[in-house]
């Protein structure tokens, strides 16, 4: 027999801890998708907001994919290495498998009509241009593609994840260090001066993300980079990684002949902390980062990061842009004890000359002392058994006219978690499975304007809708309980629908409750959502091995079985069902069995069976296995 209260309590404790499980799970079929002919380990995506086109950089080619509601069609722009170059590359000795290829690593828009595309080109990075609004390879009179040296823009080897960002026609690129090169942050293409970080500023950096942070006026714009560094000597705890945020000013044009002639004069870096220091649980290696920009209120922008620990779990941390800004503007420089002439703050974005003392300070002390702590000083949550690989986020206006942050996290096995981040708390709305084959998610691009997410793995790329409201069910309670800011119960149409962008609240007929599970706003909401159909009738042999299936909807609910409206039995969720298994503790008997899911105030009957024993049956006394299929065939 079940002590239902105890189970509910245990369940609440689980949800109250830092770990999270998705409330709902969906398999999405019939999505527009492209499948790659060969395994593409290093895809890069580019997408213009509100367009239907996605550019995918792959081995020796750029795919231009056009998406419609149900289909994706693509054209190829070949940029493969020619045979001579490939042979001469191979003759240079044993190299990684795709080194002697042209793996496309960079696709960025440089102006209204042109994209720049760069590839590794067998260790000799090279760029091409796509004209006619990015549809056609720019070529000379003889039909050869116009090229440009790609050193400093694309990494020479596809092993390194390229991080680039285009700002007003200039390209900034961050190149991860390898045995041969120290890596760094560069302005690598465009009309204003090209320059880089000094080698000694960064220790074996691995870059994972970047963002353009707009200032009050354009001369205050900053470019952020996210990366991890490793100490050459590993500490006693065996933890070599430190996560970092580095920033430079857009208006930086390098120093003078005497100091930092070809280097940033505004580069500063800070430590990003993610973990539970009091419990000595640290997530030191940043894996991906995304900055959710709030245009009219930069200080309320949020930096989201995924961090891994040595123990194979990942944490999601959120940082306030206001905190980051304050740290860079006020913290001491680590190890710097001197005085600065004229109180010029190192790292200030300015078009006037930077004093030589400030240049010297930055050159020798590019790190600020204050670390950046996450909002509320701890991770949003920790994911134990699956790892996250990619993160992106959207800002969604709910029916209440409040904005909510919704994160999309890609996992190592091809799932997407849709997560609400509101009032410092997180809630995993759902887990989406859009792929045909499990593989780590390697690229994600979100289009808030059209409401789509482009997600890629080494095998396929799909486009999925940010709102998928019908999936929540066809009752008001089911819809409201989803707590999805994109969706609400449309009382006029009686369906779960996406919130129109220009919703007029005053005559809104849409019900939504995002902050917590509260279905009382639904009309005539009784306590229990009863099973809408007649109980299924089963006539069975008492000697049979039998279980009664109960479809699981919410993984946050507690499922219980009742017998003749009274006795209660527990069940265990497995493969999307919480079956009642007859055994010594749950004897098979005639009567009515019902499965009920309880979640806060929401109760829903999900299955009902009327069991009749057929003991006059001549079947051998023994075990007859009723699988799910067998039971359904009886109905
Ligand atoms: C160029 O392409 C983008 C993305 O496909 C599209 O939004 C834009 O309208 C196009 N511009 C022109 C001039 O065709
Ligand atoms: C866009 O950039 C390309 C490459 O730098 C250049 O050739 C072209 O003239 C530019 N177009 C415009 C409209 O600025
Ligand atoms: C919303 O509806 C009200 C009443 O119908 C109307 O007065 C108002 O102008 C509408 N607002 C918008 C933004 O459409």
- For residue range 99-111, what is the model confidence (pLDDT) as tens digits? 899 999 999 999 9
Q: Tell me, what's the pLDDT at 463?
A: 98
The count of other CB atoms within 10 Å of the CB of residue 140 is 9
Q: Name the residue of 49, 51, 74 to mutate for ligand 1: max ligand atoms within 8 A of Cβ.
A: 51
The CA–CA distances, whole Å, from 201 to 74, 160, 338 equal 43, 19, 19
Q: What is the pLDDT of residue 322?
A: 96
Which residue's CA is the nearest one to ligand 2's atom 12? 111
Decide: 53 in ligand 1 pocket, CB within 6 A.
yes
Please report the pLDDT score of residue 235 as a whole number: 62
**Is the model more confident about 399 or about 318?**
318
Helix residue ranges per DSSP H, 383-494 = 476-481
| Phi, psi at 538, each rounded to 5° | -125, 130
Residue 22, pLDDT above cutoff 60: yes
Residue with the larger pLDDT of the pair 628 and 314: 314
Contact 391, 383 (CB under 8 A): no
- State how far the Cα of 96 lies from the Cα of 519, in Å rounded to an integer: 56
Question: Is the separation of the CB atoms in 365 and 387 below 8 Å?
Answer: no
Instruction: Identify the CA nearest to 420 among candidates 428, 410, 430.
Output: 428
The best mutation among 506, 508, 510 to test binding of ligand 3, ranked by most ligand atoms within 8 Å of the C-beta, falls on 506
Nearest CA to ligand 2 atom 6: 114
Please report the domains of the chain, with CATH numbers, ordered by start residue.
4-9+528-632 (2.60.40.10), 471-521 (3.30.1680.10)
CB 43 within 8 A of CB 389: no
Q: Give backbone dihedrals phi and psi of 41, rounded to 5 degrees, phi first.
A: -70, -25
Separation CA 85–CA 285 (nearest Å): 37
What is the overall mean pLDDT for the chain?
Answer: 89
Position 18 confidence tier, pLDDT thresholds 50, 70, 90: low
For residue 314, the model assigns a pLDDT of 94
More confident residue, 489 or 280: 489
Q: Give the nearest ligand 1 atom to 50 CA.
A: 7
How many Cβ atoms from other residues are within 10 Å of residue 129's Cβ?
A: 19
Stretch 450-471: mean pLDDT:
97
Dist. CA 111 → ligand 1 center (Å): 11
Distances (CA, A) of 478 to 512, 522, 599: 11, 10, 11
Instruction: Please report, for residues 202, 217, 225, 373, 426, the alpha-carbon distance to residue 244 in angstroms, rounded to integers and kept in the order given.
Output: 10, 26, 8, 12, 24
| Percentage of the chain lying above the pLDDT 90 cut | 67
With cut-offs at 50, 70 and 90, classify the pLDDT of residue 239: confident
Residue 503: the pLDDT is 66
With vertex at residue 484, the alpha carbon angle to CA 440 and CA 72, rounded to the nearest 5 degrees, is 50
Length of the chain measured in residues: 635
Task: From 155, 373, 172, 166, select the one nearest 266 (Cα to Cα).
Answer: 172
Mean pLDDT computed over 582-588: 83
Most informative mutation of 45, 48, 52 for ligand 1 (most atoms within 8 A of CB): 48
Query: What is the rounded average pLDDT of the residues 394-399?
Result: 94
Highest mean pLDDT among 17-21, 514-518, 622-626: 514-518
DSSP per-residue letters across 475-504: SHHHHHHT--TTEEEETTTTEEEEPPTT--
Q: Determine contact, residues 464/452, Cβ cutoff 8 Å.
A: yes
Region 10-26 average pLDDT: 67
Alpha carbon distance 121, 99 (integer Å): 8
370 lines ligand 1 (CB under 6 A): no
Token duo for residue 168: 């007003």
Q: Which of 13-22, 379-388, 509-518 has the lowest mean pLDDT?
A: 13-22
156-165, 273-282, 389-398, 566-575, range with greatest mean pLDDT: 389-398
Distances (CA, A) of 616 to 330, 543, 590, 620: 86, 12, 14, 11
Q: Is 507 in the pocket of ligand 3 (CB under 6 A)?
A: yes
Closest Cα to atom 7 of ligand 3: 506
Closest CA to 459 of 407, 393, 413: 413
Q: Give the per-residue pLDDT at 384.
A: 83
pLDDT in tens, 311-336: 778 999 999 999 999 999 999 999 99
pLDDT tens sequence across 247-271: 999 999 999 888 899 999 999 999 9
Three-class SS state of 262? coil
pLDDT above 70 (res 299): yes
Residues having CB closer than 6 A to ligand 2 are 110-114, 129
Closest-approaching ligand to the CA atom of 401: 3
Q: What is the CA radius of gyration of the chain?
A: 29
User: 339-356 as b/e, with b when 16 or more CB fall inside 10 Å?
Assistant: eeeeebebbebbeeebee
Alpha carbon nearest to ligand 1 atom 6, residue: 51
Residue corresponding to tokens 């409330």: 23
- Which pLDDT band, with edges at 50, 70 and 90, does 339 fall under? confident
Report pLDDT digits (tens) over 82-130. 888 888 888 887 667 788 999 999 999 999 999 999 999 999 999 999 9
| pLDDT of 441 over the 70 cut | yes
pLDDT (mean) for 61-69: 96
Query: Residue 605 in 3-state DSSP?
Result: strand
Asked if pLDDT for residue 424 goes beyond 80, the answer is: yes
Residue 298 has pLDDT above 70, yes or no: yes
Alpha carbon nearest to ligand 2 atom 3, residue: 114
- Which pair of tokens denotes residue 594? 């019902």
CB contact set of 165 (below 8 Å; sequence gap of 6+): 108, 171, 172, 173, 210, 211, 212, 223
Please give the torsion angle defined by the CA atoms of residues 241, 245, 250 and 256, in that order, rounded to the nearest 10 degrees. Answer: -60
- Look at the block and give the residue holding tokens 């396929």: 460
Query: Does 69 contact ligand 3 (Cβ within 6 A)?
Result: no
506 band by pLDDT with thresholds 50, 70 and 90: low
Question: Which of these, 156, 357, 372, lies nearest to 246 by C-alpha position?
Answer: 372
Mutation to probe ligand 3, out of 500, 504, 505, 509 (largest number of atoms < 8 A from CB):
504
φ, ψ of residue 17 in degrees (nearest 5) = -75, 180
Residue 502's CB is within 10 A of a number of other CB atoms, namely 5
Q: Can you give the pLDDT at residue 341?
A: 63
DSSP state of 378: S
Which ligand is located closest to the Cα atom of residue 501? 3
Q: What 3-state DSSP class applies to 43?
A: coil
The pLDDT of residue 293 is 95
The closest ligand to the CA of 134 turns out to be 1
User: What's the confidence (pLDDT) of residue 11?
Assistant: 47
């Amino acid at each position: 027999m079940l002590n239902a209260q105890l189970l509910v309590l245990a369940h609440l404790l689980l949800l109250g801890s830092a770990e999270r499980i998705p409330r709902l799970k969906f398999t999405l079929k019939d999505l527009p998708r492209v499948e790659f002919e060969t395994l593409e380990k290093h895809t890069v995506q580019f997408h213009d907001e509100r367009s239907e086109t996605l550019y995918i950089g792959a081995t020796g080619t750029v795919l231009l994919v056009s998406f419609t509601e149900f289909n994706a069609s693509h054209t190829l722009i070949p940029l493969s290495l020619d045979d001579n170059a490939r042979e001469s590359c191979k003759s240079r000795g044993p190299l990684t498998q795709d080194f002697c290829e042209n793996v496309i690593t960079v696709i960025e828009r440089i102006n209204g009509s042109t994209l720049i595309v760069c590839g590794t080109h067998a260790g000799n990075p090279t760029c091409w241009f796509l004209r006619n609004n990015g549809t056609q390879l720019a070529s000379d009179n003889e039909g050869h593609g116009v090229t440009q040296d790609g050193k400093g823009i694309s990494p020479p080897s596809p092993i390194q994840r390229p991080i680039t960002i285009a700002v007003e026609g200039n390209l900034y690129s961050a190149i991860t260090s390898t045995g041969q090169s120290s890596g760094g942050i560069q302005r690598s293409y465009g009309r204003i001066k090209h320059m880089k970080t000094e080698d000694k500023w960064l220790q074996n950096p691995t870059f994972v993300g970047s963002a353009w942070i707009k200032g009050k006026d354009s001369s205050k714009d900053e470019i952020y980079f996210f990366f991890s560094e490793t100490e050459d000597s590993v500490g006693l705890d065996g933890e070599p990684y430190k996560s970092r945020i580095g920033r430079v000013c857009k208006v930086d044009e390098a120093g003078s002949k005497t100091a930092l002639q070809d280097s940033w004069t505004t580069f500063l870096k800070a430590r990003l902390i993610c973990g539970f220091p009091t419990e000595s649980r640290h997530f030191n290696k940043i894996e991906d980062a995304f900055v959710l920009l709030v245009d009219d209120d930069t200080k309320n922008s949020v930096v989201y990061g995924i961090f891994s620990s040595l123990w194979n779990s990942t944490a999601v941390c959120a940082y306030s842009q206001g905190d980051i800004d304050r740290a860079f503007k006020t913290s001491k420089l680590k190890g710097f004890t001197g005085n600065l002439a004229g109180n010029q703050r190192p790292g200030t974005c300015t078009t006037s000359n930077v004093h030589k003392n400030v240049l010297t300070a930055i050159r020798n002390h590019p790190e600020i002392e204050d670390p950046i702590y996450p909002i509320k000083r701890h991770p949003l949550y920790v994911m134990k058994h699956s790892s996250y690989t990619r993160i992106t986020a959207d800002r969604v206006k709910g029916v209440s006219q409040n904005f909510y942050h919704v994160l999309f996290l890609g996992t190592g096995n091809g799932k997407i978690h849709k997560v609400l981040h509101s009032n410092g708390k997180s809630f995993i709305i759902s887990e989406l499975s859009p792929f045909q084959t499990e593989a780590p998610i390697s690229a994600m691009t979100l289009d808030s304007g059209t409401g789509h997410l482009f997600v890629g793995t080494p095998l396929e790329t799909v486009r999925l809708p940010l709102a998928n409201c019908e999936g929540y069910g066809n009752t008001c309670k089911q819809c409201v309980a989803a707590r999805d800011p994109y969706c609400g119960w449309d009382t006029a149409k009686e369906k779960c629908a996406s919130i129109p962008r220009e919703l007029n609240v005053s005559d809104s007929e849409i019900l939504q409750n995002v902050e917590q599970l509260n279905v009382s706003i639904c009309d005539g909401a009784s306590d229990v959502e009863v099973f809408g159909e007649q109980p299924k009738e089963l006539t069975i042999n008492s000697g049979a091995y039998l279980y009664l299936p109960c479809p699981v909807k919410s993984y946050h609910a507690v499922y219980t079985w009742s017998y003749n409206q009274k006795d209660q039995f527990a069940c265990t969720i497995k493969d999307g069902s919480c079956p009642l298994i007859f055994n010594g503790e749950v004897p098979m008997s005639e009567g009515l069995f019902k499965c009920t899911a309880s979640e806060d105030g929401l109760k829903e009957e999900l299955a009902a069976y009327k069991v009749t024993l057929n003991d006059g049956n001549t079947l051998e006394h023994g075990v007859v296995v009723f699988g799910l299929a067998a039971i359904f065939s009886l109905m």
